[in-house]
Amino acid sequence: MISDAQFAQTAIRAFTRQDQQISDLQTRLSSGVNDPRVSADPARAMELSALRDLRSDLSTQTDIGRIAADRLAMTDSVLSEVSDGVRELYRISLQANNDTLTREAHGALRVQAETLRNTLLAAANATDPQGRPLFSGNAPGPAFVNAPDGVRYQGDNSATAIQMGRNTLMQTGLPGGQVFGDGQDSVFALLDDVITGLSDPVLGARDTVRANQQATLQLGIQDDPITFDIAGPEGRTLVQLPLSAGSEAAQIAAINSVSAQTGVQAQAAPDGVGIRLSAAGDMTLSNQTSPMGNLASRPLVTLQQLDSDGTTTSDPVALRPAHLERQELLARSSAKVGHMAEMHAAVGALGSTLDSRLEQIAETRLTVDQAMSRLNDVNVAETITRLQTLLLTQQASQQSFVKIAGQSLFDYLR
Amino acid sequence: MSDMIHIARSGIIAARTALAVTSENVANVGTEGYRRRDVASVSNAGGQTTPTTQPTGGQGVSVSEVRRAFDQLVAQRLWTATSAQSASAAHRQVADSLETRFTPGENGLDGTMRDFFDSLSRLAASPADRTTRASALHGAQTLATEIVATAQGAAQLRADTVAQAQMTTAEAQGILQDLHVLNERLAHLGQSETIGHHPLADQRDALLQRAAQLLPASVELGADGRATLRLGSEAGPVLLDGTGPTRLHVSAEDQLTLHMTAPDGSRRDTRMLTGGRLGGLAMGLGALDMAAQEFDKLARDMVAGLNQLHRQGTDVLGQPGGDLFTMDGWQAKPAAANAGKVQVQVDMARPQPLNGPLELVYDAGGPGWTARDAGGTVLATGHDRLVLPGVTVDLAGAPRNGDRIVLEQVTGRAIDLRLAIGDADELAAAADVLVAPALGNAGAASLQLSRDAGEPSPDALDVVIADATVGLVELRNPSDDSLVATGTLAGDGRVTLAGLNLQLQGVGQTGDRFTLRPTAAGSGNGATAQAMADLRSARGDGGYGVLDSLSNFQADLGTRAAAVQRADDTAQARLDSAAAEDAALGAVNLDAEAARMVELQQAYQASAQAMSIARSLFDTLLRMI
């Protein structure tokens, strides 16, 4: 038997519970999201938490990726400009290879080369939209600086990269040393050599100097020795000569040591200036290099034709160091054109890889957003249906309570 | 005829008494603690009442007693169920509040933490950008603020729970006092079965029901109806007996402790509070303290990981980074003998070396509070605020002369978490050593470098894969390529050479070289920032990331809250069942009382009719005379 007091208490508790449930559903509908507490649905809460982490990570990767994409786009643009500049350098080298050009024309080419040097230096020190140098790697400051001995690379040659996902490094640039070269291999060294080649005293020098039967050989003075090819009636060979002061005897000895192979003989000049070369026919000197790597920026070898009695018959002709030979400069320029094209393509590939990655991230982000929406957002139709059911239940229980509580046997006592 | 009249008269009186009892039931249908009454009647013994009559079987009916529907076993089950449900409800309230404070979401602590690690990732990509640095610093500050606010919220919840426990104890104390007064009145009445006992017994049972809601109490009823209460079980300490109520108060230095002082002055403390609201609050307090410890550990682990990496990085000026966060603070401990009540708040701007612990003593007639260090040096005086080197102490309340407070230095609490740097330039985003693959490497491996705490940054070195097939690597001096150290990679790609912990990830080829170079000031590498950002999620060595740890912590809280909710629902169901059993025994049902009234009314009418017939017979006899 249930007492009236207990019946009322039970009913009140049921009404309170229904009110709470209705209130919760209304709150969910108003906010539009499901109950975020873990106790309401542990599995959903944990899945949502993981999805939030993932979405946050993807969002950050997208932001970083866009900055990297801007940087790569800037690099691509700069390299396009640099490629144009290197092709211009090739054209200058090609024109400089023309012996028929006047001094004025050579002068104009030199001015063009100097302007091009400044342009390329500015391009090499370009920065991204955030002010970071494009080609200095992770080192601060500009990538290239003008030094007394030429343009010097002062970056750290590291390839900048960003992390887009755990253990996924995306390269965002190319090291300056790789793009522009370093030391003698750099495009600036090539430019400096082209400019040197278009300037006196190298401008008037030849890739090969010739003489017939008698000639005066004059050599410069420096600490390091040089080598050059010497050819005569008997053949051609490479000879190394010291250039330090007072080494004339050694120079003569070195030339005479290969006389059997070349047919060229050397002796001290009667007037004490230079070395007298003699042969039974034509003599040629070419390919002057420095075995110690100290590349000269001026001719160190001149050859002056003499007649049979030792009288000069023409002006001395200087021999271009091998690295300043016109053909060599042309070949180096051509190689740089190809190299810049490769670098340009490499940056393009990096950009393409980054774009693919960003697309992947966008697709993943969409999937994550959809999953989060499914878990987080209130299913309005379902919630309203539940709410209506609860309201109906509440009405029915209230009406039944009133009906039952209002009836009593006392009503029928007479 | 006279015997008929007497018998009818006894029936009328008995019916009328029963009707009165039924009316009392109806009138008290809503009275808390009231238990239904019913009457027990006995037939009166018969005999030859006069010489002129035949002996009869009986002389009518009389009411032997008015019974109160009460069963101590059923009542004890109800009190036990009430105590359990009150405990689970109180525990649930605390668990729900605790879970709410750590609810996951974009605007919660996990959202702030995610934003912080995102800012570190951005910093790693653009370490030299001032806006990015400022954003990372702001993210760190916001995280520190959020962690402190969360810890303060949990501390406030603890304080509220303790206050609620104190109010519950005070309320229980009042009930014990009322029960004691009732016991004395019951003792004065003497017998337990007289009608006069019933109202007192109703009041007693109502008080016992309220007591069960507050405390885990075992009840023993004496023959005279007096109640003896013990805490927990029949063997527990006495809360109330014939000598009077025990004085109660609670404290919560660590666990909730009930301090009991018996009327004879003996004292006893207990933490075994297993029922009633007080028991629920004790369980809730335990859950709060456990959650606070876990949260402190989570914060400590995060700070330790970040600080270790930050110390090995370099800032904008190329200086080594120090700690990124600190967790040093002060804890105030008022002396137990203090007569006044004071609230203390300690704010620490920057950690300063103070010779702690500090002692604050109040001089009512003098300068107020005086702060001294461990060496006795006076550091500051003041009534409401003490400004110490790097520490400000605010005091509010009503102190008494001689009150003492000890300030102890503590570390490792989330509530003390602070940012240790103040300028974005101090963020050590760059690694002090930059590891980079050399140009022209044939393989696709990357090299990670880590150092033990305290190890100095190395000079320029090169790492060369001497033999990729067996994992032989060499450490070489880049200036002359001389060999410095050599070793073999373990299965996970790790090797330690000359104190440097190296890990090769990916596929390397023989001859691949990696450069290790000290980082210059203003370097564009964000390796340290990236390493700090990577702490957010699970690491390859099986360790949990910071966000994972927080997520697990939130999941644990939610799981525990769900378990408490289920336990509360179960306790409520058990209470409903016990209440139904108790109500079936002793509660008033109006329909049943109405039916009883009809029955008694008929009995009354029948007896009255019998009396009328007896009178009629007597009249007939008189007319015959």
For the segment B478-488, what is each residue's pLDDT rounded down to a tens digit? 888 899 999 99
Q: Which of residues 531-560 of B touch A (CB under 8 A)?
A: 533-534, 536-537, 547, 551, 554-555, 557-559
Report pLDDT for B579.
92
Which of A134, A163, A180, A375 to mutate to probe the B interface, most B CBs <10 Å?
A163
Q: Is residue A70 part of a domain?
A: yes
Q: For residue B519, which residues of chain A lie inside 8 Å, CB to CB?
A: 138
Pick the residue from chain A with its C-alpha nearest to B536: A53
Report pLDDT for B46.
67
Mean pLDDT (chain B, rounded): 89
Is residue A231 domain-shared with residue A289, that is, in the same domain? yes
**Beta strands at B500-505 and A169-171: parallel, antiparallel or unpaired:** unpaired
Q: For residue A138, which residues of chain B lie inside 8 Å, CB to CB?
A: 430, 434, 436, 519, 523-525
CA distance A197 to chain B (A): 32
Q: Is residue A175 part of a domain?
A: yes
Strand spans (E) along B77-184: none
Report pLDDT for B52.
64
What is the per-residue pLDDT across B456-470, written as a single tens digit (0 to 9) for each? 777 888 999 999 999
Is residue A170 domain-shared with residue A257, that is, in the same domain? no
CA distance A39 to chain B (A): 4
**Beta strands at A264-268 and A317-319: parallel, antiparallel or unpaired:** unpaired
Report pLDDT for B194.
63
Q: Above 70 in pLDDT, residue B116?
A: yes
B353 pLDDT band, cuts 50/70/90, is low
B524 pLDDT band, cuts 50/70/90, is confident
Q: For residue B522, which residues of chain A lie inside 8 Å, CB to CB?
A: 140-141
Q: Where are the alpha helices (DSSP H) in A125-258?
A: 176-180, 187-197, 248-257
B49 pLDDT band, cuts 50/70/90, is low
Q: Report yes or no: B257 at the A interface, CB cutoff 8 Å.
A: no
Query: Of A289, A319, A349, which residue sits at a domain end?
Result: A319
What are phi and psi for residue B433, nearest 5 degrees? -125, 125
Which one of B26, B104, B559 has the shortest CB-CB distance to A36?
B104
Is residue A273 domain-shared with residue A237, that is, in the same domain? yes
Q: Is residue A349 part of a domain?
A: yes
CB of B83 within 8 A of CB of B586? Answer: no
**Beta strands at A275-289 and B217-221: parallel, antiparallel or unpaired:** unpaired
What is the per-residue pLDDT across A49-67, written as a single tens digit (0 to 9) for each? 999 999 999 999 999 999 9
Q: Report yes or no: B513 at the A interface, CB cutoff 8 Å.
A: no
* Amino acid symbol at B336: A
Is residue A161 domain-shared with residue A216, that is, in the same domain? no
Cβ of A141 within 8 Å of Cβ of B522? The answer is: yes
Q: For residue B589, which residues of chain A lie inside 8 Å, CB to CB?
A: 1-4
Is residue A167 domain-shared with residue A225, that is, in the same domain? no
Distance, in Å, from the CA atom of B259 to the CA atom of B174, rounded to the nearest integer, reads 16
Q: Is residue A394 part of a domain?
A: no
Which of B103, B314, B600 to mutate to probe the A interface, most A CBs <10 Å?
B103
Which one of A39, A52, A160 has the shortest CB-CB distance to B99?
A39
Is residue A79 domain-shared with residue A157, that is, in the same domain? yes
Cβ of B598 within 8 Å of Cβ of A68? The answer is: no
Which one of B118, B562, B588 has the shortest CB-CB distance to A56?
B118
Q: What distance, in Å, lies between the first and last C-alpha atoms of chain A?
A: 25
Q: Which residues contact B54 (CB under 8 A, 6 or more apart)?
A: B48
What DSSP assignment string belongs to B273-333?
--SHHHHHHHHHHHHHHHHHHHHHHHHHHHHHHHHHHHHTEE-TTSPBP--SEE-EEEEEE
Pick the residue from chain B with its C-alpha nearest to A376: B105
Contacts for A148-156: CB closer than 8 Å, 24+ residues apart: A150/A188, A150/A189, A150/A192, A151/A117, A151/A121, A151/A124, A151/A186, A151/A188, A151/A189, A151/A192, A153/A177, A153/A180, A153/A182, A153/A186, A156/B434, A156/B436, A156/B517
B486: phi > 0 → left, psi -120 to 50 → alpha, else beta; which?
beta
Q: Report yes or no: B35 at the A interface, CB cutoff 8 Å.
A: no
Which one of A45, A169, A413 has the shortest CB-CB distance to B598?
A413
Distance, in Å, from the CA atom of B400 to the CA atom of B386, rounded to the nearest integer, reads 17
Q: For residue B594, which residues of chain A lie inside 8 Å, CB to CB?
A: 408-410, 412-413
Q: SS3 for A285?
A: strand
Q: Is residue A224 part of a domain?
A: yes
Closest residue by Cα to residue A302 from A231, A233, A227, A206: A206
Q: B6 is written with which tokens?
A: 């007497």
Distance, in Å, from the CA atom of A208 to the CA atom of A319, rounded to the nearest integer, reads 6
Q: Is residue A315 part of a domain?
A: yes
Is residue A122 domain-shared with residue A265, that is, in the same domain? no
Distance, in Å, from the CA atom of A57 to the CA atom of B547, rounded to the nearest integer, reads 12
Cβ of A178 within 8 Å of Cβ of B111? The answer is: no
Is residue A129 domain-shared with residue A94, that is, in the same domain? yes
Which one of B115, B125, B434 has the shortest CB-CB distance to A67?
B125
Report pLDDT for B48.
59
What is the per-residue pLDDT across B272-310, written as a single tens digit (0 to 9) for each? 899 999 999 999 999 999 999 999 999 999 999 999 999
Q: Report yes or no: B106 at the A interface, CB cutoff 8 Å.
A: yes
What are phi and psi for residue B176, nearest 5 degrees? -60, -40
CA distance A355 to chain B (A): 17
Q: Which residues contact A226 (CB under 8 A, 6 or more apart)?
A: A219, A240, A241, A243, A288, A289, A290, A291, A296, A300, A301
Q: Which of residues 555-584 of B touch A (CB under 8 A)?
A: 555, 557-559, 561-562, 565, 576, 579-580, 583-584
In this prediction, residues B58-65 reach a mean pLDDT of 83
Pick the residue from chain A with its C-alpha nearest to B433: A138
Which one of A6, A45, A408 has the shortest CB-CB distance to B590?
A408
B576: phi > 0 → left, psi -120 to 50 → alpha, else beta; which?
alpha
Pick the residue from chain A with its C-alpha nearest to B126: A130
Q: Where are the alpha helices (DSSP H) in A40-186?
A: 42-96, 103-124, 176-180
Is residue A190 domain-shared with residue A94, that is, in the same domain? yes
Report pLDDT for B286.
95
Distance, in Å, from the CA atom of B168 to the CA atom of B280, rounded to the nearest integer, reads 11
Report pLDDT for B320.
87
Report pLDDT for B2.
62
CB of A239 within 8 A of CB of A228? Answer: yes
Q: B550 is written with which tokens?
A: 């927080």
Beta bridge pairs of residue B485: B475
Kindly tell me the burial class for residue B281, based on how many C-beta atoms sit within 10 Å of its own C-beta (0-12, 13-18, 19 or more).
Answer: buried
Cβ of B96 within 8 Å of Cβ of A167? The answer is: no
Q: Where are the alpha helices (DSSP H) in B426-507?
A: none
What is the per-residue pLDDT across A322-370, written as a single tens digit (0 to 9) for each? 999 999 999 999 999 999 999 999 999 999 999 999 999 999 999 999 9
B540 pLDDT band, cuts 50/70/90, is low
Range(s) of the domain holding residue A231: 208-319
The count of structural domains within chain A is 2
pTM metric for this prediction: 0.84
B107 pLDDT band, cuts 50/70/90, is confident
Q: For residue A57, which residues of chain B lie inside 8 Å, CB to CB?
A: 118, 121, 536-537
Pick the residue from chain B with its C-alpha nearest to A65: B125
Q: For residue B100, which residues of chain A lie inside 8 Å, CB to CB?
A: 37
Cβ of B522 within 8 Å of Cβ of A166? The answer is: no
Query: Of A319, A354, A383, which residue sits at a domain end?
Result: A319
Q: SS3 for B122?
A: helix
- Residue B369: count other Cβ atoms within 10 Å of its Cβ: 23
Report pLDDT for B458.
75
B549 pLDDT band, cuts 50/70/90, is very high
Whose tokens are 């810049």? That residue is: A340
Is residue A277 domain-shared with residue A355, that is, in the same domain? no
CB of B324 within 8 A of CB of B310? Answer: yes
Cβ of B580 within 8 Å of Cβ of A45? The answer is: no
What is the per-residue pLDDT across B560-583, written as a single tens digit (0 to 9) for each? 999 999 999 999 999 999 999 998
Is residue A110 domain-shared with residue A228, that is, in the same domain? no
Q: What is the 3 state secondary structure string of B356-372?
A: CCEEEEEECCCCEEEEE
* Amino acid symbol at B592: A
Pick the residue from chain A with its C-alpha nearest to B317: A140
Distance, in Å, from the CA atom of B466 to the CA atom of B468, rounded to the nearest integer, reads 7
Is residue A227 domain-shared with residue A176, that is, in the same domain? no
CATH at residue A103: 1.20.1330.10
Size of interface A-B (CB pairs under 8 A): 176
In this prediction, residues B237-263 reach a mean pLDDT of 92
Which of A9, A24, A52 to mutate to probe the B interface, most B CBs <10 Å?
A52
Q: What distance, in Å, lies between the first and last C-alpha atoms of chain B?
A: 16
Query: Of A284, A319, A354, which residue sits at a domain end?
Result: A319
